[in-house]
Amino acid sequence: MTGKFSGIVNGGGGNFDNIFDGWDEVQSADDYGTPLPAGKYVCIWRKGEPTISKKGTPSYKLTLEVEAGDHAGRKVWHDIWLTAASRAIAKRDFEKLGITNPREQLKQPIPKWLRLQVTVGLQADDSGIERNSVLAFKVLEKIQPEADPFAPETESGR
């Protein structure tokens, strides 16, 4: 490794002069270096976005967050593959999420606040590294979000 640490930190295009101020008071982030144990989890659907795999296969990736228990806050991802061979499976998964017209609905924000029961398994890749795999999911309920106290008032809210 070449170069000084200060040159690396300060040369990143931002001002990092104060990056280590209060360092002793910062709590280290949790280390999620291992996958979730196989099992069923209640999760909240947090994000959905179109992606492309390393091999070029298109998918719609769901980001699911474990809601409670020992693994609360952990995330697991599920790809709904968008290929001719996987159309029936994609249609099934989208319908569970209330997406009946994916061509139009996937251009819009996701239907927020869905609580899901997710069955998570473990898969090992060719090098033996284990990763989580969503084996199945079902929608448990649509959650009504709490009102934002800072939201502007509407005509009916006055």
pTM of the predicted protein model: 0.71
pLDDT values of the chain reduced to their tens digit, one per residue, 158 residues: 455 555 555 555 555 567 778 888 887 766 667 899 999 999 999 999 999 999 999 999 999 999 999 999 999 999 999 999 999 999 999 999 999 999 888 888 876 679 999 999 999 989 999 999 999 999 999 887 677 778 787 665 54
In contact, 77 and 62? CB cutoff 8 Å: yes
Residue 1's pLDDT is: 47
Tokens 């061509």 belong to which residue? 103
Domains located in the chain, CATH noted: 39-142 (2.40.50)
Element (H, E) at 8: helix 5-10
Tokens 């099992």 belong to which residue? 39
Of 107, 93, 88, 86, whose CA–CA distance to 45 is shortest?
93
Tokens 């020992």 belong to which residue? 70
